[in-house]
């Protein structure tokens, strides 16, 4: 299994945060992100779940 590219993951996280902030992460967008960043849809979904959890923790802390 190939090692994950940290730069690509960071760029993907930035894109996911941007779309989450604007509530634009509708069905189909995760597949498009996966194609663009050359990762699996499951990997994109994993990052989306992590970022939603992080966003929720930040909002609860404030």
Whether 35 is in a domain gets the answer yes
Whether 24 is in a domain gets the answer yes
Number of structural domains (the chain) is 1
pTM to 2 decimals? 0.86
**Phi and psi, residue 40, nearest 5°:** -75, 155
Whether 16 is in a domain gets the answer yes
Which pLDDT belongs to residue 2? Answer: 58
- Residue range 11-31: average pLDDT? 93
Task: Give the structural domain span for 20.
Answer: 6-61
Whether 36 is in a domain gets the answer yes
Sequence-ordered list of residues with C-beta below 8 angstroms from that of 45, at least 6 positions apart, any chain: 30
Whether 1 is in a domain gets the answer no
Measuring CA to CA, which residue among 33, 25, 32, 20 is closest to residue 59? 20
23 pLDDT above the threshold of 60: yes
Whether 12 is in a domain gets the answer yes
Give alpha helix (H) positions in the chain: 6-21, 29-37, 41-61
- The rounded distance, in Å, linking the Cα atoms of 44 and 16 is 8
């Amino acid at each position: 299994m190939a090692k994950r590219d940290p730069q690509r993951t960071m760029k993907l996280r930035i894109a996911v945060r941007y779309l989450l902030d604007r509530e634009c992460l509708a069905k189909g967008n995760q597949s498009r992100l996966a194609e663009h960043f050359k990762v699996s849809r499951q990997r994109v979904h994993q990052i989306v779940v992590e970022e939603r959890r992080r966003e929720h923790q930040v909002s609860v802390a404030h």
